[in-house]
Chains A and B, each alone.
Chain A
Amino acid sequence: MADSKSSAPKPGDGDDDLSTLRRLLLRPEQRRIEELGERLENPELHAHDISRVLPDALRLSAKDNGTLRDALAPTVETIIHTSVRRDSRHFADALFPVIGPAIRKAIAEALRQMLQNLSEVLEHSFSRRGLTWRFEAWRTGRPFAEVVLLHSLEFRVEQVFLIHRESGVLLQHLSADNVAFEDADLVSAMLTAIQDFAHDSFAMAGDQALDSIQMGDLTVWVEQGPEAIIAGAIRGNAPEELRGAFHETLESIHQRQAEALRDFDGDPALFETDAVQQTLQQCLQARYRKDVSRISPLLLILLLLLLTGGGYWIYTELREQQAFEAYLQTLNQAPGIVVTNAVAVNGGYRVQGLRDPLAAEPLSLLGKKDPLDPQRLDLHFEPYQALAPSFVLIRSQRLLQPPETVNLDLDGEVLHLTGHAPAAWISEARRLALAQPGVAAVDTSALRDQSRNDLQALQTTLSRQVIRFNVDTTHSETDAQTLQRLAHDLRRLQTLARVQGLQPRVMLVGHSDATGTAARNHLLSRRRADWLHEHLLGLGVDPALLTVRAAGSSEPVSTKTTPAGQAQNRSVTLIVHLAPKEEADK
């Protein structure tokens, strides 16, 4: 402008010509300029123009960077504020379709979270482990949540920082749930400063850098890249493979955001994308101990002892119980014992019932090796009479007092008496036995009278009696004792026969050997019989009992011809005859 002014011709000098020339030369341009001017000054036209380019301009701007968005944000916010203040219904109507699902989603999420928390609380509250931790929290004064975390956590990456390497400016920061953290911008810068400090202070060479900072159970791992670094704050003992994950994440970010990293000028918005977040999320790992509870050996031993003790106790109890039941069975099976009540009382057993005095002693039924302690038995038995056959028999024995020759036997309720006994006892026994409970009838058919027996025996004895004589003599040298016994037997014979209602006759038969004449022998035998007859009468034998007969040698006692046989034939024998009294009287 200044130059054009200085070189312009003086006023009045061909001015019109110039105007004319300008008009001629620049007419179309001038008109165009006027049009443009009008367009610019006329708001209607201007708005029309802008409306045509605005959509494209907005699209371009959104693509380029966030300037337009940032510029528009305050205005849009104001518009929304004003609109809501003016009439909130429009907004309510607009939000109506989305607000329901949004609330439902929020409630569902809150419920899910609550359930999860509840289950954790339950697990931590009521398990043995939980109670131990609660005690530890109480003892150390630390919050329970912290104790739980410390025990169950193997490691957890609590925070991840993606930091611009050169400036230390934070590009992206992620943290695990429920982790309190300080201003990430400052921490990021400070981490970088510490890195620089370490590198500078310890004169590390080239790319060497601080890659780990340890504070108690918190470790900060730093993974270096050319343009950015990843720092992770890890609680617990992180495994080495985690470093691999850090490294991969950093590589991936370098690959995808190479340009943004290189040209970074302080705008982290480029890294606040979902892609970067998802990549970084891979670093937010955590691992919990599957099971930190281990049963202590002491507890195991204690349990084992308890189990053994308990098992032994149960075993002995069971054994004793079984023994007691077996004993009860034995008692009930024993004749003359009836158990009416059996209960376990105060660590022992009380047994009540009835017992026949003839029955076995209850304690004697307990085996010597029986596990049941007699001291623990409390036995009460009332006496009674049992009708067991064995007892009826015993009682019958006691009542009847039978002689040895009598045998008692019980068949059902019939008492059988066998053997022989005095008639008086027999008749008494018949009467008494029926008074005995358990005896309905008495059978004496096999019981013989004692006296009849004796009589027969005596008859036999007398029939075998041989009173010997020497050759050709009529006086026996048989001793007086034998003769006296013979006389006694004869007297007894008479008594017994009389009891039986029999009439006895005893014939004294004289014998001789075969030597000599028959007449002589007959005489000899006669005299020998007479000799005995006389002697017996002398010894008090009833004369009515005795008769005499001479047999000579015709009825030899022995048929042997030896001297001993002949000696036997020189004798007197007795023939006893028993006849019923009436018959005898006839």
Chain B
Amino acid sequence: MIRKKVCMLGAFAVGKTSLVERFVKSLFSERYQTSLGVKIDKKSLLVDEQPLELILWDLAGEDEFVSLRLPYLRGAAGLLLVVDGTRPETLDIVLALHDKAIAEIGEVPFALLINKADLTEGWHIDPCDIDRLVARGWTALETSAKTGRGVEEAFETLGKEMLE
């Protein structure tokens, strides 16, 4: 059984927590996120028949008042970058966070999750921006906190990348 630390990054209120909550094993209350700045969950999955345990460090969303606690990133083997499809600025924020993370811990496998995919009509992120990222080799997945679409695949994709 391999265990990997995965950090979830995103702007404030992009729905990171609600996105994964039905897929993970939780022990601690969400209150920790506001107090400690992190909430920890566990996701068990099989990648090519191999059991993998992801220890998810769901870091508090960054905004103008809260900044990322960089020490939490240490030892992360992967990153989940979450953006809100209806708020284009969250993409910029997550890109900035990604840069910070790289500066702190170096390059690690990551996946970009574009959340609230069920509100496709209300999307304001320019698909071209996404395409440009994909063209740079990024993994971008559309997910829905409401239906859970794409979340499991996101874990598997990241898991696979981390094990390679």
A residues near B (Cβ < 8 Å) are: 70-71, 74, 164-170, 182-183, 185-187, 189-190, 193-194, 196-197, 199-200, 265-269
Contacts and interface: CB of A to CB of B under 8 A. Distances in A.
B55 A169 contact: yes
Contacts, number: 81
A193 B74 CA distance: 10
A189 B25 contact: no
A186 B36 contact: no
Nearest to B26: A186
A183 B75 contact: no
B2 A266 contact: yes
Nearest to A70: B50
A193 B5 contact: no
Interface in B85-105: none
B42 A74 contact: no
B111 interface: no
Which 5 pairs between the two chains have the least Cβ-Cβ distance? A167-B75, A166-B75, A196-B71, A167-B5, A186-B27
14 contacts: A167-B5, A168-B75, A169-B5, A183-B25, A185-B3, A189-B57, A190-B40, A193-B72, A196-B74, A197-B71, A200-B71, A266-B3, A268-B1, A269-B1
B77 A167 contact: yes
Given A197-B37, A267-B2, A167 B42 contact: no
B74 A166 contact: yes
Contact of B42 (A186, A193, A196): A186
Given A190-B28, A196-B71, A185 B77 contact: no
Contact of B36 (A165, A167, A193, A199): A193
Interface residues of B, number: 28
A545 to B, nearest CB: 157
A205 to B, nearest CB: 14
A169 to B, nearest CB: 5
Nearest to B70: A200
B38 interface: yes
Contact of A183 (B4, B42, B57, B72): B42
Most buried by B among A166, A168, A199, A267: A168
A186 B75 contact: no
Contact of B40 (A74, A193, A266): A193
A282 B4 CA distance: 28
B38 A193 contact: yes
A167 B76 contact: yes
A518 B119 CA distance: 202
Interface string B27-57: 1100010001110111000000110010101
Contact of A185 (B38, B49, B53, B57): B53
A166 B5 CA distance: 10
B77 A189 contact: no
Given A167-B5, A186-B41, A197-B37, 4 more contacts: A166-B75, A185-B53, A193-B57, A193-B72
Contacts of A74: 49
A170 B55 CA distance: 10
B69 A200 contact: yes
Contacts of B28: 186, 190
Nearest to B38: A193
Interface of B: 1-5, 25, 27-28, 32, 36-38, 40-42, 49-50, 53, 55, 57, 69, 71-72, 74-77, 162
A169 B4 contact: yes
A196 B40 CA distance: 13
Contacts of A187: 27
A237 to B, nearest CB: 27
A164 B75 contact: yes
Contacts of B42: 183, 185-186
A196 B69 contact: yes
A264 B76 CA distance: 12
Contact of A197 (B4, B27, B36): B36
Contacts of A185: 3, 42, 53, 55
Given A166-B74, A167-B74, A183-B25, A189 B36 contact: no
A21 to B, nearest CB: 45
A183 B77 contact: no
A182 B75 contact: no
Nearest to A187: B27
B4 to A, nearest CB: 4
Contact of A186 (B4, B25, B71, B74): B25
A66 to B, nearest CB: 10
Contacts of A169: 3-5, 55, 75
Contact of B69 (A71, A197, A265, A267): A197
Contacts of B162: 266
Contacts of B4: 167, 169, 266
A167 B108 CA distance: 13
A189 B55 contact: yes
Nearest to A170: B3
Contacts of B32: 190
Nearest to B5: A167
Nearest to A165: B75
Nearest to A267: B2
A170 B5 CA distance: 10
Contacts of B25: 183, 186
A167 B74 CA distance: 6
Contacts of A70: 49-50
Nearest to B71: A196
Nearest to B76: A167
A167 B1 CA distance: 16
B110 to A, nearest CB: 16
A267 to B, nearest CB: 5
A213 to B, nearest CB: 13
Given A167-B77, A185-B3, A186-B40, A196 B55 contact: no
A183 B53 CA distance: 12
Contact of A168 (B37, B53, B55): B55
A570 B8 CA distance: 177
A200 B60 CA distance: 15
A111 B24 CA distance: 41
Contacts of A190: 27-28, 32, 40
B120 to A, nearest CB: 34
B27 A182 contact: yes
